[in-house]
């Protein structure tokens, strides 16, 4: 059974930094569950106002519970970030709520299918690229003018060490694109006082998703291909385990914060030693 949306919101995250985000307006995509939800929770407990975006309606329930638990300003919107129109509407809604955006954390993405590349249908490849590259590409394109107009800010993209993984080549290609976007835009946007950085998570333990990314493995062969991903992920990690949501959220929130003001263009692997 999946956990309630707001489970644990009345307890502060471990080792958080009070007031680190005081007075800052933070946009978080993919915020209804998983890493995005953990990031939003930590930012709110550190004093930041958060605007939460997801394709799932349950993001509104989470936003209400987070605002009640922390006392910060919390807004929310549903958007299809695989489209330019969705990304543009997201930024407009965040600006309407808060007036400006200081930080954008782009977290949407994730493998839909798990299988060797020769078994992907062309339409499946396109869907993987739209889910894990275009969601970030469109989001950044929509966020950047708002940050420039605000006199600067920070973009944190969530990539993946799966750029070196098996049985998800389209996802690996998409996240490789996120890495390239991060490095190139950091150079281009620096004179606008905009930092662009990323983390590259490895395998992460999380509660059962309330909104699934895809159909899930069906049949013995599909389950075996997925198990190969799990085995390779653990084997590639020097720590021989999956990470936790807090272990993923903490470096994201650090990189987005003023404490990381001299870090730019970097992609930080957060995968127990797996460099991707």
Each residue's pLDDT tens digit, 74-103: 999 999 999 999 999 999 999 999 999 999
- pLDDT of 5 > 50? The answer is no
Q: Which tokens in the block code for residue 105?
A: 């954390």
- pLDDT of 69 > 60? The answer is yes
Which residues are paired to 195 by β-bridges?
154
Quote the pLDDT of residue 8. 59
User: CB under 8 Å to 188, separation ≥6 — which residues?
Assistant: none
Tell which wins on pLDDT, 206 or 4. Answer: 206
Average pLDDT on 125-131 reads 98
Name the H helices within the chain: 34-45, 58-70, 84-98, 122-129, 135-149, 169-189, 220-236, 245-256
Quote the pLDDT of residue 14. 78
Quote the pLDDT of residue 15. 77
Q: Which tokens in the block code for residue 35?
A: 């890493």
DSSP conformation class of 130: I
Cα distance between residue 92 and residue 200, in whole Å: 28
Q: Is 226 a catalytic residue?
A: no
| Choice among 171, 226, 242, 262 that is catalytic | 171
Place of tokens 């307006």: 25
* Cα separation values, 54 from 85, 90, 91, 173, Å: 14, 10, 13, 23
Q: Which tokens in the block code for residue 111?
A: 């493998």
**pTM for this model (two decimals):** 0.94
- pLDDT of 4 > 70? The answer is no
Which residues are paired to 105 by β-bridges?
28, 156
Q: Which tokens in the block code for residue 59?
A: 């993001």
Q: Can you say how many angstroms the Cα of residue 23 is from the centroid of all Cα atoms in its chain?
A: 22
- pLDDT of 2 > 50? The answer is no
Place of tokens 């954008």: 104
- pLDDT of 1 > 80? The answer is no
What CATH number belongs to 25-270? Answer: 3.40.50.720
62, 36 contact by CB (below 8 A): no
Mean pLDDT of the chain: 94
């Amino acid at each position: 059974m999946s956990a309630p949306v707001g489970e644990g919101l009345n307890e502060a995250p471990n080792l958080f930094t009070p007031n680190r985000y005081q007075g800052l307006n933070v946009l978080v995509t993919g915020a209804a569950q998983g890493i995005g939800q953990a990031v939003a929770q930590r930012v709110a407990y550190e004093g930041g106002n958060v605007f939460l975006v997801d394709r799932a309606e349950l993001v509104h329930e989470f936003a209400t519970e987070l605002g009640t638990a922390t006392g910060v300003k919390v807004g929310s919107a549903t958007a299809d970030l695989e489209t330019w129109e969705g990304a543009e509407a997201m930024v407009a809604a965040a600006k309407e709520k808060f007036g400006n955006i200081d930080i954008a954390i782009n977290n949407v993405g994730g493998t839909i299918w798990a299988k060797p590349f020769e078994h992907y249908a062309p339409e499946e490849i396109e869907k993987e690229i739209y889910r894990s590259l275009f969601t970030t590409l469109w989001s950044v394109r929509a966020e950047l003018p708002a940050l420039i107009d605000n006199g600067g800010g920070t973009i944190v993209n969530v990539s993946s060490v799966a750029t070196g993984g098996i049985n998800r080549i389209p996802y690996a290609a998409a996240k490789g694109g996120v890495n390239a976007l991060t490095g190139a835009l950091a150079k281009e946007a620096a004179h606008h006082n905009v930092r662009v950085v990323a983390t590259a998570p490895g395998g992460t333990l999380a509660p059962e998703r309330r909104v699934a990314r895809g159909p899930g493995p069906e049949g013995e062969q599909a389950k075996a291909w997925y198990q190969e991903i799990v085995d390779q992920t653990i084997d590639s990690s020097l720590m021989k385990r999956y990470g936790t949501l807090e272990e993923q959220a903490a470096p994201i929130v650090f990189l987005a914060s003023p404490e990381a003001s001299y870090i730019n263009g970097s992609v930080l692997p957060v995968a127990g030693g797996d460099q991707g």
